[in-house]
Structures are given as structure tokens and as C-alpha cells.
Amino acid sequence: MSSDRVRTVPAEHDAGVLRALGREGVRLSIEQELQAELLGAAEILLRIKREADGVERAAAELLHVLYGEGLRLTADRSPGVMQAVEEATALLGLEDVELEVFVSGALDSKASVARIGESRYVMVLHPDLLELCSLEELRFVIGHELGHVAYGHFDLKRMEVDGIPSRLSIKLFEHARLSEVSADRAGLLCCGSFEAAYSALRVVVAGTRSPLIRPDFPAEYAQIEKLRALLQERQHLLETKRSHPYSVLRIGALKALEEELKGIAPSDDPEDAVAEADDRVAALLAIMSPKTSDDESWLLVLAAFWVACADGSFDVSERKEVAKLCADKEFSELFELCRESDDAAAMMEEMFVSTLGEKTLSMPRRAMFVERLVAVARADGVIDDAERAAINRVCALIGLDGSFARVLMR
């Protein structure tokens, strides 16, 4: 990320380019692709259907809280805010959506939106936002929340990951983080100003607009690099299972878009610039969603077989979980080897140690590695002592503190 570019174009240029792109043009492409992948998975679709009743109950409880502990906004009660809402719904193509807006401190978040029925939503703004934000900054916040509506994020955002296969649960968290960037871009479209978007994010993050704190992009770039170093050195699943990206990364993601759009005339097609920004955002957020190489994927497969065979009973549920980690014929070929071996676990351990050799995995990858092994061990409902010992041995071999695995295996 470059920090030496100087922004010289006026805010009107920002608004013109963003309006030319429109709702779908500003959306983060990798978020949209991952959403389509997840919504095409049978396990996800089944979970959505099963959770429908719970969503209805939660909606009723939320309305009870808001009508009892909140203030419902109307055009007469808060004309500026409701005009901003009306303009945002028009920009995002949500005119047919029924939306209620409340101010309430009863919820933990600064701002949120929830689906309470078919094409019915409720938005909640924390009182602090009205004290701290200008109307332009509030336009960003409102647009962000309505961006989740426009992009259909709710089926995935509300989903409980307990019981979801590990290969999908990590992707669900990754999509949740990417969806925040898409929603930030929707907020940017609605406020029409990068500066208003940045200041709104800083207010939400810091909870203050004190004159003692000034915008400082070089400091934010330095903070991102420090964060990258910290996560590389010592990252656990806390990061991969966060539903929101770190706030400084959200600012960096908007800055990437601003820099790529610099110099684009409103009459030009800015899609190439957005594609470049999307690539930069993917690289930026990758520090929270580390990918594995082919060698690392093979190591994971070997370790999964090792753990699954450790208790001497490689049952159907464990086979299904291991198969999710395999490509092509890996599962059938290794499963046949295990069936023919007198000590399949020892054989897999030997293959794992030989393949690992001098390879060094990053801390993020070690964490994800062990999380998936625990999912394999838990597939049959019980993690026995032999499986625990195998996982602890893997931790020792790859250089991960065994306490991490013990927490996961509780």
C-alpha cells in the first residue's frame, strides 16, 4: 500500500465516479463470489432452512426491546436522519424495503440492522453516534448498514457455525469480514465522500472526535504493518474467527479504492480501477484469512488421517470430515493404504514427519491446521486420549503451543 500519493481531486469527483459505478459496481468482487459459493453448499442451505424459526423469534424479541427501550425515528422527529435514510435506500435500490429506524443504547453495537420479516428490516443507531457524527458521516454509517440489506448478507451473517464442517466455518467468518468491506463501500456510495467515510470509521473506532486526534494515514499504514507482523508472529484462531476485520484494515481497504480511482473521470469506465482495488483489498485482508499451499494441504490430509486412525476406529463421520480436506483421489488412495496397514496411525505419522521435513508453517496456518484436526477428532462425538495425543504430537512437530489445541478440544 502506497502512502505517498496526495489526494487532489474534489469530493464532487468522488461522488460522480461512485454514482457511475452504482450499488453493484462498488461491491467487493471476492465477497460476492464467496457468498455465491457458500449459498451453493448443501450444508449451508440446510442450516438456513433449519434456523428460520429462530430468526423469527429473535426478531420479535428485538422489536420488544426497541419499542420498550428505544426511540423510533420519524421524518418529523428527525428530518435530517430520515432524509439520509431515504436517500440511501434510493441509491441502493431498496425503495421496496420496509425499514424502521431506532435510536437505542440497549444493544452493544454502535449501529446495526436486522431482518425482521420478508423485506422488513430494523436499523438501530446508538445515541453516541448522533452526538459524535456529522450528518455526512452518519450517511456513511446508514449506507453501511443498508449495504448489508442490498447485498443479501443476512442468511450468512446470522448463521451459527457450531456443527458446520470446518472447511465451511472458516469461509463463513471470512465472508463476514469481506461483507463489512462491501458494506463500507455502500456507505461510501451513500455519503459520496472518502473523507466523510474515513472520519466516520475513526469516530466509530475511537468513540471520540476530540481535536487532540488528527487524521494520519502514514500512522495507519504503519499500524497495518505492525498488525501484520504481530499476526505473523503469533496468531491464533481469534483472528480467523472474527466476524469483522480490524478497523485499521477497513480504513486501508477504503484507501486502496480511493487511490485506484484517483484520476478517473466521471465519464470513464472505472471498473478496471475497482478490480485493482479489489486485488489490493484481498491481499490486505489475507493476514486474517491465511491460505495454504499445496504442500501444506497435503500435510493437513496426512495429519487428518493420522488423527482419524489414532483410536483404531475410522468411522463414517470421521471419513466424511477427512474427505472434505482431500482433493481428487487423495481420500480413496490413502484410505485404502490405511485399511491394508497393521498400524495405520503409525504409518500416517511417519508419512507426515517425512513430508514436513524442514518446512516452517506461519503461525496463522498452524492455528488453522490444528483447528481442522480437532474437527476431525470431534466428528464422531468423542475426542479420546489417542486422538488427543496425536493432535498434541502434531502441535509439537509444527511448533504450536499445545495449550491452543487443548482449548479447542474442551
DSSP conformation class of 92: T
At 80 the pLDDT is 96
Q: Per-residue pLDDT averaged across 94-119, rounded? A: 92
Which helix (DSSP H) or strand (DSSP E) does residue 282 occupy? Answer: helix 271-285
Residues of the chain with CATH 1.10.3680: 294-408
User: Residues 118-147: pLDDT tens digits?
Assistant: 899 999 999 999 999 999 999 999 999 999
Q: Per-residue pLDDT averaged across 288-302, rounded? A: 76
Owner of C-alpha cell 440497549: 106
Q: Does domain 294-408 have CATH number 1.20.120?
A: no
Among 99, 106, 103, which residue's Cα sits nearest to residue 133?
103
At 240 the pLDDT is 60
Tell me, what amino acid is at 333? E
At 55 the pLDDT is 79
pTM of the model: 0.74
2 falls in which pLDDT band (50, 70, 90)? very low
Bigger pLDDT: 1 or 370?
A: 370
Among 171, 117, 191, which residue's Cα sits nearest to residue 149?
117
Bigger pLDDT: 188 or 407?
A: 188
Contact between 362 and 290 (Cβ < 8 Å): yes
Tell me, what amino acid is at 204? V
What's the CA gap between 339 and 205, in Å, rounded? 55
Res 397 pLDDT > 50: yes
Res 4 pLDDT > 50: no
Which helix (DSSP H) or strand (DSSP E) does residue 26 occupy? Answer: helix 11-26
What's the CA gap between 351 and 402, in Å, rounded? 21
Which helix (DSSP H) or strand (DSSP E) does residue 98 occupy? Answer: strand 98-103
Look at residue 270 and give its three-state secondary structure: coil
User: Residues 303-350: pLDDT tens digits?
Assistant: 999 999 999 888 888 998 898 888 767 888 899 889 888 899 999 999
What's the CA gap between 109 and 134, in Å, rounded? 19
Look at residue 202 and give its three-state secondary structure: helix
- Flag the least confident range among 215-224, 234-243, 247-256: 234-243
DSSP conformation class of 69: H
User: Residues 26-72: pLDDT tens digits?
Assistant: 999 999 999 999 999 888 888 888 887 777 888 889 999 999 999 99
Average per-residue pLDDT for the chain: 87
Most confident of 260-264, 339-343, 403-407: 339-343
User: Residues 192-219: pLDDT tens digits?
Assistant: 999 999 999 988 888 888 888 887 888 8
Res 235 pLDDT > 80: no
Q: Per-residue pLDDT averaged across 352-365, rounded? A: 86
Among 192, 80, 188, 71, which residue's Cα sits nearest to residue 141?
188
